[in-house]
Structure 1
């Protein structure tokens, strides 16, 4: 199955900018942005980001407010602040160069086990066990014969991934990338394209008769949630160049002379959120360092 997946990847992999002649910094940025966010939304922001901040030092010197504005609507904006903190540590502790090994990568703010392994593999060609949702799903079907992996990553899954990883370093990098892409394009969660799979004849799930999942995955709700309200408030603050008075956030008044702010305020008010929910959203944004409150109102952090 190794050669089949590698040949398929060579022929069918998407042409993504972070797979070309890309810096380690560019790959780190892509991995952070791609967490819980699809490629189609990430790519234009990533391209603008790397043009504006081509190296960690450039990014570390940027004000936090500009970082959050550039992050735009990618969601989970705390990722942007953590990446900002990571860039600062890269400059202070690593001479401005992204560290090239798993342990040092893992020590950076906002970098977890998956991201450290992925950057080590894809930026520096290291032999590391990369396990994301796509890889877990391919392993579950191809090797174990289950429709879906366990709801949460298990030690058994990590052990299986380590066992499957080729001993040859270059082949291990190709394997990680190939299996991940196979899960993203072919072995998808809801509508797998089994007829196009390069390892169909070796798939334990197919051999078992494609048994149904043992649980129903729950997608993350959006409409009416605190996350939606937080996102709407963040959109107002990104559009504003000065503090937004609390009265504007609470009441359907227009921001005179600021059409973009008024537009985002209109979207916030259309949610018809109740007072406790908006209070939670505002308090949470301040507590997470995504907003600041002064006598003048709310604004992005300095």
Structure 2
């Protein structure tokens, strides 16, 4: 517990002031934001940096400015428009959520946390983020950036636990400002501080608004209790699934299964399109059993359609 009320007020004042002066100008933070524009951003920002999300988000909002617009779209269009954001199942979940919003909520994104939580693809973090950032309601938002700020500034640790703990949740709730408007700013401010200043690998402590009372700095900046490992990519099913999806996104029609199962080597035989993604798929030189496994998993996830020997989005 943080029993020092003066310390909590210091954190609130300094971090919120820093945010008002240094927050990035992002379209889903604009005064004309809607529940839907924030919801789309939150789905896209899961495990994906802002710089990659921005252009895709802008394209989506032009094409599907309301839940009803997206709900009416074919899932193949939706997956293709998702582009290279990664984790394309998020696109299908967002489409399913849009459909539920149209069918159950009159086409309007609900404001209530519990109602949001009942939508397809919406977990506790996303529900809290939407109700706070879109509608200005009080809720505790906890993401990796926020957890890292609290771990360092309050708990004196280099990194938070590998996964969210009950103690971290209690701390986040305890640190929330009493004033609802300040609490909304606090959620955004601590997240922004973690994203821009209190980063995982190279924190910019000299630019931190609370460096003078940071528990981690006071403790001598101890090393983390574990070394975070990035996700493996080369040779993984995730890489191969992405390569297959890229071919299907670039193709104007269905692709013969042998083209994909041969790593693109049968392209000439079936007169497959000479799309750049097909060349990249060939270069992976993936084993046949891995190709089949990835095609099967993509079909199971609803990301591709297999009709006989033809495969499409």
TM-score by length of 1: 0.97
Q: Which residue of 2 aligns with 1:134?
A: 145
Q: Distance in 1 between matches of 2:86 and 2:68?
A: 24
The Cα of 1:253 is off from its aligned counterpart by 3.3
Q: Which residue of 1 aligns with 2:19?
A: 9
Please tell me whether the aligned partners of residues 153 and 215 of structure 2 are also in contact (alpha carbons under 8 angstroms): yes
Alignment partner for residue 42 of structure 2, among 9, 18, 31? 31
Q: Which residue of 2 aligns with 1:299?
A: 312
1:162 maps onto 2:137 in alignment: no
- Residue correspondence of structure 1 range 61-72 to structure 2 within 5 A: 61-72=72-83
- Residue correspondence of structure 1 range 30-49 to structure 2 within 5 A: 30-49=41-60
Q: Distance in 2 between matches of 1:56 and 1:34?
A: 18
Q: Distance in 2 between matches of 1:222 and 1:38?
A: 17
Alignment partner for residue 95 of structure 2, among 84, 95, 102? 84
Q: Distance in 2 between matches of 1:221 and 1:296?
A: 31
Alignment partner for residue 264 of structure 1, among 277, 293, 299? 277
The Cα of 1:197 is off from its aligned counterpart by 0.2
1:108 maps onto 2:101 in alignment: no
3-state SS of the aligned residue for 2:134?
helix
1:161-214 CA distance string (max 9 Å, x none): 000011211010000000000000000000000000000011000111100000
The Cα of 1:241 is off from its aligned counterpart by 2.7
Q: Which residue of 1 aligns with 2:3?
A: none
Please tell me whether the aligned partners of residues 83 and 109 of structure 1 are also in contact (alpha carbons under 8 angstroms): yes
3-state SS of the aligned residue for 2:232?
coil
The Cα of 1:237 is off from its aligned counterpart by 1.1
TM-score by length of 2: 0.93
Q: Which residue of 1 aligns with 2:7?
A: none
Please tell me whether the aligned partners of residues 259 and 272 of structure 2 are also in contact (alpha carbons under 8 angstroms): no
Please tell me whether the aligned partners of residues 106 and 116 of structure 1 are also in contact (alpha carbons under 8 angstroms): yes
Q: Distance in 2 between matches of 1:278 and 1:77?
A: 18
Please tell me whether the aligned partners of residues 27 and 123 of structure 1 are also in contact (alpha carbons under 8 angstroms): yes
Alignment partner for residue 18 of structure 1, among 16, 28, 47? 28
Q: Distance in 2 between matches of 1:118 and 1:59?
A: 21
Structure 1, unaligned runs of 5 or more: none
Q: Distance in 2 between matches of 1:206 and 1:179?
A: 17
Shift in CA distance, 281/63, structure 1 to aligned 2, threshold 3 Å: same
1:233-258 CA distance string (max 9 Å, x none): 00111122322111111331336373
Q: Distance in 2 between matches of 1:102 and 1:253?
A: 51
1:255-294 CA distance string (max 9 Å, x none): 637333xx21111111010112111110100010001111
Please tell me whether the aligned partners of residues 132 and 138 of structure 2 are also in contact (alpha carbons under 8 angstroms): yes
1:58 maps onto 2:69 in alignment: yes
Q: Distance in 2 between matches of 1:12 and 1:242?
A: 47
Q: Which residue of 2 aligns with 1:214?
A: 225
Q: Which stretch of the first structure deviates more once superposed, 56-65 or 240-249?
A: 240-249
3-state SS of the aligned residue for 2:37?
helix
1:184 maps onto 2:195 in alignment: yes
Q: Which residue of 1 aligns with 2:303?
A: 290
